[in-house]
Structure 1
Amino acid sequence: MIKTISRFLTMLVQRFLPDPLVFAIFLTIIVFVLGIAITPSSPLAMVKMWGDGFWNLLAFSMQMAMVLVTGHALASSPLLRRGMRNLATIATTPAQGVMLVAFMSAVCSAINWGFGLVVGALFAREVARRVAGSDYRLLIASAYIGFITWHGGISGSVPLVAATKGNPMEATIGLIPISQTLFTSYNIFITVALIVVVPFLCKMMLPKPEEVVAVDPSLLAEEPVTSKVLGPNATWAEKVEESTFLAMLIGAFGCVYLAMYFVKNGFNINVNTVNLIFFTAGMILHKTPMSYMRAVINAARGTAGILVQFPLYAAIQVMMEHSGLGGIITNWFVNISTKETFSVLAFFSSGLINMAVPSGGGHWVVQGPFVMPAAQALGADMGKAAMAIAYGEEWMNMAQPFWALPALAIAGLGVRDIMGYCVTALIWTLPIFIIGLYFL
């Protein structure tokens, strides 16, 4: 049954889902029209919101581009290549391959979302090289499906922001410690259940041998060697460029800073920390500045989708927030809720909002002011209400191609290649969230 549904959805997506850039443009038009129709905002006011918000994610776009570039460059180092090759040998059949990729991605995403996105896609490529008969599309889809665990892990932005002093909701509802969100029985159940179930779900979507789409061999070509052996007539400039000492010095700076950071802040990993870890480790493992730079150049070609599409989503988010459209949608779900059903309906409202605002932090800004005071008034579990916002975002990512862009850039595939499998995962993981939010 799962295989049949995934086959049908893959066929549907192949025919009707446009490129992520066109998808973002369609969302812009939809939000613009709804803003005019449902809120008091005029067309010119909506255009102004769009323009004002266009560069709101500029810093985040750079962060995500760096996640992709530094993660890819790190994985292309000789040591990491060998490590992934050895790990990939655990799988000997296509079914084992997709299960291993999904499991690794789910675990890594629970540790850190940026780490999971990059490592999952890179590992999927390695498995595709090693396991004959693999369906490359499903391997990459499995890597992205594993991303569904991220908000329940230690880098979940909503629970971390809700526990941080100075966040936008502190004055209204106070702080929500992570003991009431991340370290609760329902979150442990949901996250562990996803880590266990997702690999088997991906296995059940495996196409028949005659339906496997052979991967273009060029997509699996080994990364070019970035090290350079200098000849006896090398110039001083060339020797400096290939200096191991300089690479180790910068690596030492990064290691010392990270040690001081973790001593002061504990195991508090954010996207900047991940990027610095990737950069420091990459510089050390590539051994020379120019070897690392050549790896970065190879990786940077995949950032086009991030640089072009993230500004559009920033503009959409501001239109949703400033027009009040996001609040209207959220309030509709809130108004039909009871204390018992509140978290489930907040989850669905978050999933709907995620189509236009695919950002955990953005959800807290758009939905927090409506969901959290309502939860407080109903006497609902405040931590569960916050996590409902988070779960809706991570769940609907399976139908929203925004976060798939880094993985697709690494894989060399398009969104239509994987989204049918991801939507299948969206359907079959829903009971896990409902059980955790309603029954636990």
Structure 2
Amino acid sequence: MFKKFTNGCVRIVNRWLPDPFLFAIILTIVVFIAAMIGTQQGPVALVNAWGNSKGFWGLLSFSMQMALVLVLGSAMASAKICKRALGAIASLAKDKKSAILITTFVSTICCWLNWGFGLIAGALLAKEVARRVRDVDYPLLIASAYSGFVIWHAGLSGSIPLQMGAETGTEILGVVYRAPTSTTIFHPMNLLMVAVILLVMPLVNYAMHPDTAHTITVDPSLLVEDEERTYAIDTPAERIEHNKVLWFITLVLGFAYIVYHFATKGFNLDLNIVNMIFMFLGILLHGDLRRYVDAIADAAGGAAGILLQFPFYAGIMGLMVAENQLGVSLAGIIADFFTNISNNVTFPVLTFLSAGIINFFVPSGGGQWAVQAPIVMPAATEMGVEYGRAAMAIAWGDQWTNMIQPFWALPALGIAGLKARNIMGYLVIVLIFTGVVACLGFLGWGLFFHG
């Protein structure tokens, strides 16, 4: 029965889910019409909200960061020593079951530690596992690697709990809202929900594995290793390109800053420092500046989807948060509706669900917080809901619908050589499973840890 349902989801998604770029276009049209109806704004005002610097071009910095996550992570992984390390982990997978279990478990831990690292590490590990276990279903294996991303905002790099835990907190209409990480990331119920997903999701993923007749194995061309480049070092220019002194100075400069960052800011892994670590580890592991330049060139093609699609998602965000003369936005209407039908116990559950809906159109943790915090946090005060529980409800909703939103899957898909439709059918099941865990978790949080 379970496999029939899974197979049905896979068939429907394969048949109906368009390319992620077309998906973004369709979402744009849907949100544009919904914003006109919901906020009573005219088409000219919404076109401006869609195309201005806060809309279509509002994620340029983030787009570059995400492109670099993919390119720098892939370039680092192409170094010999990194391939051997990934290979050592992948060698633990001996059959289809262990392949899915190990990939899911490792990627989930990596995403909890840091989402940028986990997103790339999971996809790279999955490819290495596919190299060794050729009869595993490749789309399911990549979906398993990506499924670990469903707990990133409950982990150490979660932007909402980290912002709430900072000394400055979050200021809304002159009121500062703060919640230490002991009440968010390290709250017993948050850790319990993460643990349930970490331990049970690998089994759920394996239960979806199709039978032999329907298994899609990896395309051998995706696993072909390019022959190692050989370099002639005859001219002065070529000697400069392979100069070890320049390589060493570059490494000293990069790692000096990385050490300084952690010495002055503690274990703060934002996206910029993750990319810097990827870059200078890649330079170190390749052992040569010329080799690293060529590795970056080889990896850059995988970032095409990010560069094309992220501006359109930024435009969708612009439409979602565009306010009319009364300060009403489409995202605000959605959040406000769920808040108005809540009580003390159900408030976090309904906030989680509303965050999941909004995340589908505003797939950015920072953007989601900017939209929902002004509505949710004052309401939490009125209902007597702890700030940590309210904030984590938004964080869990933000990460939840990433499973069926191609936005975040693009880096993993670029590494895997697959399309979104190849993995999304499996991720529908992950969405249902993690949604049940989160809803029950927040109900338990309210019933047993209130106050």
Q: Fold conserved (TM > 0.5)?
A: yes
CA distance in 1, matches of 2:442, 2:245: 53
1:52-93, Cα deviation, whole Å (9 max, x unpaired): 111110000000000000000000001000111111110100
CA distance in 2, matches of 1:224, 1:110: 35
**Stretches of structure 2 lacking an aligned partner (at least 5 in a row):** 324-328, 446-451
Matching residue within 146, 155, 158 for 1:156: 158
**How many pairs does the alignment contain?**
437
Instruction: Name 1:375's counterpart in structure 2.
Output: 380
Matching of residues 167-246 of structure 1 within 5 Å: 167=170, 169=172, 171-226=174-229, 228-230=230-232, 234-246=234-246
- Deviation of the 1:244 alpha carbon: 2.6
Bigger shift: 210-219 or 279-288? Answer: 210-219
Instruction: Name 2:420's counterpart in structure 1.
Output: 415
Bigger shift: 212-221 or 161-170? Answer: 161-170
CA distance in 2, matches of 1:224, 1:186: 50
User: Do the aligned partners of 2:169 and 2:176 also contact (CA within 8 Å) in 1?
Assistant: no
- Deviation of the 1:434 alpha carbon: 1.6
CA distance in 1, matches of 2:342, 2:227: 56
CA distance in 2, matches of 1:378, 1:55: 38
CA distance in 2, matches of 1:169, 1:189: 30
Q: Cα gap change, 1:275/1:170 in structure 2, threshold over 3 Å: closer, same or farther? A: farther
Provide TM-score, normalisation by structure 1: 0.97
SS at match of 1:132: coil
| One-letter amino acid matched to 1:273 | I
User: Do the aligned partners of 2:170 and 2:176 also contact (CA within 8 Å) in 1?
Assistant: no
- Deviation of the 1:174 alpha carbon: 2.4
1:288-345, Cα deviation, whole Å (9 max, x unpaired): 1110011101110011110111111111112111231100010000000001100000
User: Do the aligned partners of 1:2 and 1:424 also contact (CA within 8 Å) in 2?
Assistant: no
1:331-378, Cα deviation, whole Å (9 max, x unpaired): 000000001100000000001101101111111011111111111111
Instruction: Name 1:353's counterpart in structure 2.
Output: 358
Matching of residues 300-311 of structure 1 within 5 Å: 300-311=300-311
Matching of residues 329-344 of structure 1 within 5 Å: 329-344=334-349
CA distance in 1, matches of 2:38, 2:60: 29
| Aligned-pair identity (%) | 46
Instruction: Name 1:264's counterpart in structure 2.
Output: 264
Q: Cα gap change, 1:359/1:168 in structure 2, threshold over 3 Å: closer, same or farther? A: farther
SS at match of 1:397: helix
CA distance in 2, matches of 1:88, 1:243: 34
Residue 71, structure 1, aligned to residue 73, structure 2:
yes
User: Do the aligned partners of 1:173 and 1:373 also contact (CA within 8 Å) in 2?
Assistant: no
SS at match of 2:175: helix
- Deviation of the 1:175 alpha carbon: 2.1
| One-letter amino acid matched to 1:259 | V
SS at match of 1:380: coil
Provide TM-score, normalisation by structure 2: 0.94
SS at match of 2:124: helix
1:127-170, Cα deviation, whole Å (9 max, x unpaired): 00111211111111111111111011100111112233274548
Q: Cα gap change, 1:223/1:387 in structure 2, threshold over 3 Å: closer, same or farther? A: farther
CA distance in 1, matches of 2:145, 2:49: 35
Residue 101, structure 1, aligned to residue 106, structure 2:
no
User: Do the aligned partners of 1:230 and 1:239 also contact (CA within 8 Å) in 2?
Assistant: no
Instruction: Name 2:326's counterpart in structure 1.
Output: none
- Deviation of the 1:425 alpha carbon: 0.6
User: Do the aligned partners of 1:98 and 1:203 also contact (CA within 8 Å) in 2?
Assistant: yes
Instruction: Name 2:119's counterpart in structure 1.
Output: 117
User: Do the aligned partners of 2:339 and 2:379 also contact (CA within 8 Å) in 1?
Assistant: yes
- Deviation of the 1:380 alpha carbon: 1.0
CA distance in 1, matches of 2:147, 2:169: 33
Instruction: Name 1:30's counterpart in structure 2.
Output: 30
| One-letter amino acid matched to 2:146 | Y
User: Do the aligned partners of 2:13 and 2:421 also contact (CA within 8 Å) in 1?
Assistant: yes
SS at match of 1:355: helix
Instruction: Name 1:325's counterpart in structure 2.
Output: 330
- Deviation of the 1:223 alpha carbon: 4.5
CA distance in 2, matches of 1:170, 1:407: 39
**Stretches of structure 1 lacking an aligned partner (at least 5 in a row):** none
User: Do the aligned partners of 1:355 and 1:400 also contact (CA within 8 Å) in 2?
Assistant: yes
CA RMSD of aligned residues (A): 1.3
Matching of residues 274-293 of structure 1 within 5 Å: 274-293=274-293
CA distance in 2, matches of 1:305, 1:85: 27
Instruction: Name 2:408's counterpart in structure 1.
Output: 403
- Deviation of the 1:239 alpha carbon: 1.2
- Deviation of the 1:216 alpha carbon: 1.5
User: Do the aligned partners of 1:190 and 1:436 also contact (CA within 8 Å) in 2?
Assistant: yes
